[in-house]
Structure 1
Amino acid sequence: MNFSEWIQTFFLAIIQGLTEFLPISSSAHLILPSQLMGWDDQGLAFDVGVHVGTLGAVIFYFRHELLTLAKAWKRSLSGNMDAEGRLSWLVILATLPALAAGFLMGGLVDLYGRSILVIAGTTLIFGVLLAWADLRRTEQRTTESLGVRDACMIGLAQALALIPGTSRSGITITAALMLGFDRQSAARFSFLLSIPVILGAGSLKGLELYQEGNSAHWLHVGVGTLIAALSAVACIHLFLKWLDRVGMKPFVIYRLLLGVLLLAVYFAVPGSAS
């Protein structure tokens, strides 16, 4: 690999690590380098690697909470249901709509949803919705009051993230804020929901990689995985630390600017309409 390929690896892995958890859409960011700088696709193995990196990051960051939830879930199977056990079941319930949407509509989204125009539109629309939800928030609830209806609503919102540009974290945080949850609870539940979703998406890509017998530059993949993991851990920590102080306004402004940039690319760059 030459120097420019290492630059691409570093840059794209950081993008994946940051945008997986910030409410700004990873697909919107991953399409810009190819359109503006002519970068080639890094390959399926690299895609699997950075997904493994971000999955490892969120599991590492919430390792203590996840261990508590896992033990509580196990206890719930024997009829000993407590608050943590209930939360673990609600995470599972909220994951089901996204899994169903991916199974039923994944092919249609791949065929029709990956154009710059679609991504620009969803980046703008769901950015405005995030702003509205944050401005109208009541912050009267925490995850302790999370119920079946809440999990279903947030889960249905997460299913919309199948459309590129929506942002999985953005739409789930938006839904939680609209349901009256405080910012920290909304963000933490969103991060917990990301684990089975990233695991599912990474597993499908891993199966595809196995079936293709893909040959890859594994040092390149390994470095990308590590960079994605480190950047994702830093992103989660700083996002939760600064969330109550800065709110959603910086991310909304960023999304609006990004959406306008994507529209400019769509209309100005030859071949970007596909």
Structure 2
Amino acid sequence: MPILEAIVLGLVQGLTEFLPISSSGHLRVVSAFFGWPDPGAAFTAVSQIGTELAVVIYFRQRIWAILSTWTRSLFDRDLRGDVNARMGWYVILGSIPIVVLGLLLEDQIESVFRDLRLVALNLIVFGVLLGVVDRYSRKHRELEDLNIPRGMMFGLFQALALIPGVSRSGGTITGGMLLGFKRKDAAEYAFLLALPAVFGSGVYKLTDIGGDEYAGWGATLVGTVIAGVVGFVVIAWLMRFISTHSFMPFVYYRVGLGILILALVSWGALDPQGGSESQQGHSDVVAQTQEPQEEHDSQQSEATPSPEPSQEPAGTPEVDPVTGWEIDPASGLPRNPDTGLLHDPLLGMDVDYDPASGMATNPMTGEQYEPEPVN
């Protein structure tokens, strides 16, 4: 992933993570709009670590009170009734649904759930639900009124955010207002409840960065830092905004964006998979580039049968003298072992390659061209 792309996606992540408009959905939409490959679930999960660090900094006093009181309450019975000690247990219990469902639905999250049509429908449906609940719910409870059933209900609504387009903050805040909590209290608990799940998901996905994923370590770190800085500004603004305003501006935005995405997909202006083909694993890429060569070898052997089977071992693959990487025989380009993609020395970057047409795609411009083999 080029650094410019990581900067743009980091800005999108920071701007949308805390607003009830779905950050993961926006990452998919922005990537598809610019013709970029899907950044992948790993980039999304790891970049959210930056925005959650913004939560830690903004709510640092409350988080410290929760951690210290909860820890001491394990040994001191008198502290177990304290709201901060109870809050620690509510955050732990409320995180269980998203952790369990996240592990069970990991494959769907990285594939089926990232379809732009599903993202658009979720933006519309859950946007309307947010507006209805915000308009008609009786918002009279504060965080002191949390208990175990209500904390678990918050957690179930947070688990809906596993599907891009729902919005972690939007889904959790909607559930909180449905339970009767005030906007600001529902938002604060939603942000606190996200900490274990987001940090856990980000750490879990760290092992995927730099492997088969499109985004490498450098791009992911840049996107994470930018997301954190921008996210801190957004969360400070949002907490002030919802103290005196409703969520209706976000509802209108979600519905409008969802309709626009569906229209663009139906007109053929947007691919509903949005470049997901660039997220193929290294083994998939190798298999595709080898299949035409294998078919050619098979046809050639049938046309001119050999009188006796050859016992000679396969030849040593050609190696690029500059990078030391193995050269793909179909394209004549070296393959980057870190990303599994072909590398064009003339562009100085990894490119997508279609073995059927023999054309490569410039990741910066999206234009297809015939690559020049390495001599």
**What TM-score, normalized by structure 1, do the two folds share?**
0.90
Alignment-derived partner of residue 259 in structure 1:
258
> Hey, which bits of structure 1, 4+ residues long, moved more than 4 A?
41-49, 210-215
2:94/2:154 contact within 8 Å kept: yes
Asked if the contact 2:42/2:202 (under 8 Å) is kept, the reply is no
Match of residue 180 from structure 1: 180
Q: Please, which runs of 5 or more residues in structure 1 have no aligned partner?
A: none
1:132-151 equivalence runs, <5 A? 132-151=132-151
The answer as to whether partners of 1:169 and 1:190 remain within 8 angstroms in 2 is yes
Task: Say which SS state the counterpart of residue 262 (structure 1) adopts.
Answer: helix
Residue equivalent to 2:69 = 72
- Give 1:111 deviation, angstroms: 3.2
Change in Cα spacing, 1:178 to 1:270, as seen in structure 2 (3 Å) is: same
Matched to 1:148, the amino acid is I
Q: Does 1:201 align with 2:201?
A: yes
Question: For the structure 1 residues 45 and 155, does the alpha-carbon distance in structure 2 shift closer, same or farther, using more than 3 Å as the test?
Answer: closer
Aligned equivalent of 1:130: 130
Deviation larger for 14-23 or 181-190: 14-23
Alignment of 1:68-107 (within 5 A): 68-78=65-75, 79=77, 80-81=79-80, 82-107=82-107
Identify the residue that residue 30 of structure 1 maps to in structure 2: 27
Distance 2:122 2:212 in 1: 32
Q: Look up the equivalent residue of 1:125 and give its one-letter code.
A: V
Q: Distance in 2 between matches of 1:49 and 1:103?
A: 16
Mapping of residues 229-244 of structure 1, within 5 Å: 229-244=228-243
Alignment correspondent of 1:9: 6
CA contact (8 A) 1:27 1:119 kept: no
Q: Provide the C-alpha distance between the structure 2 equivalents of 1:91 and 1:217, rounded to a whole number of angstroms.
A: 30
Alignment of 1:43-58 (within 5 A): 47=44, 50-58=47-55
Aligned with 2:114: secondary structure?
A: coil
**Which one-letter code corresponds to 1:13 in the other structure?**
G
Change (3 A) 1:257 1:212: closer
Structure 1 residue aligned with 2:18, among 21, 43, 68?
Answer: 21
CA deviation vs aligned residue, 1:124-163 (integer Å, no higher than 9, x gap): 1000000011001222110001111111111111111111
Specify the SS of the correspondent of 2:7.
helix
How far does the alpha carbon of each residue in 1:203-257 deviate from its partner, in whole angstroms, 9 at most, with x for none? 1211223776999462x44432221111100010000011122210111011011
C-alpha root-mean-square deviation of aligned residues, in Å? 2.3
Larger fraction in helix: 1
Which residue does the alignment assign to 2:189?
Answer: 189
Q: Which residue of 1 aligns with 2:247?
A: 248
| Separation of aligned partners in 1, 2:215 and 2:110 | 23
Aligned residue identity for 1:71? S
Gaps of 5+ in 2: 274-375
| Structure index of larger Rg | 2
Q: Give the counterpart letter for 1:178 in structure 2.
A: L
The one-letter amino acid paired with 1:19 is T
Tell me the residue number matched to 1:272: 271
**For residue 67 of structure 1, what is the amino acid of its counterpart?**
W
Partners of 2:120 and 2:234 lie apart in 1 by: 23
Give the fraction of aligned pairs with identical amino acids, expressed as a percent. Answer: 37
How many equivalent pairs are there?
270
The letter of the residue matching 1:37 is: F
Deviations 1:152-203 (A, max 9, x none): 1111111111112111110100000011100110000001011111101101
In 1, Cα distance between equivalents of 2:254 and 2:40? 27
**Cα separation, 1, equivalents of 2:125 and 2:92:** 28
Contact 1:44 1:209 in 2 (8 A): no
CA contact (8 A) 1:136 1:178 kept: no
Report the equivalent of 2:226. 227
Counterparts of 2:210 and 2:47 in 1: how far apart (Å)?
16
Paired AA for residue 64 in structure 2? L
Q: In 2, are the aligned partners of 1:137 and 1:182 still within 8 Å (CA)?
A: no
The one-letter code of the counterpart of 2:122 is T
Q: TM-score, normalised on structure 2?
A: 0.67
Alpha-carbon distance, 1:67 to partner? 0.6
**Displacement of 1:47:** 4.5
Higher relative contact order (CA 8 A, sep 6+): 1
Which moved further from structure 2: 249-258 or 49-58? 49-58
